[in-house]
Amino acid sequence: MQFQNCLIDAIDVVLSWDLPDESFAEAVTDQAGLMARIAPEEVQEHCSD
């Protein structure tokens, strides 16, 4: 699954975690990477697409 396709689902998941605002963006990015089965060290490459 493409990274971009996982972002909305990742937002829904991360919203339920009650994280501080400053951690939210990174958590969404990491969660979307996990859902798209992207290695953690490669997630930032997909964010710039």
Spell out the domain ranges in the chain. 3-47
- Per-residue burial over 9-42, b if 16 or more Cβ lie within 10 Å, else e, is ebeebbeeeeeeeeeeeebbbebbbebbebeeee
pLDDT of residue 47: 73
Angle between helices 3-15 and 21-35 (to 10 degrees): 130
User: Contact, 36 vs 3, CB < 8 A?
Assistant: yes
pLDDT of residue 21: 94
In 10 A of CB 2, how many CB atoms?
Answer: 11
pLDDT of residue 42: 86
pLDDT of residue 2: 86
Q: State the pTM of this model.
A: 0.83
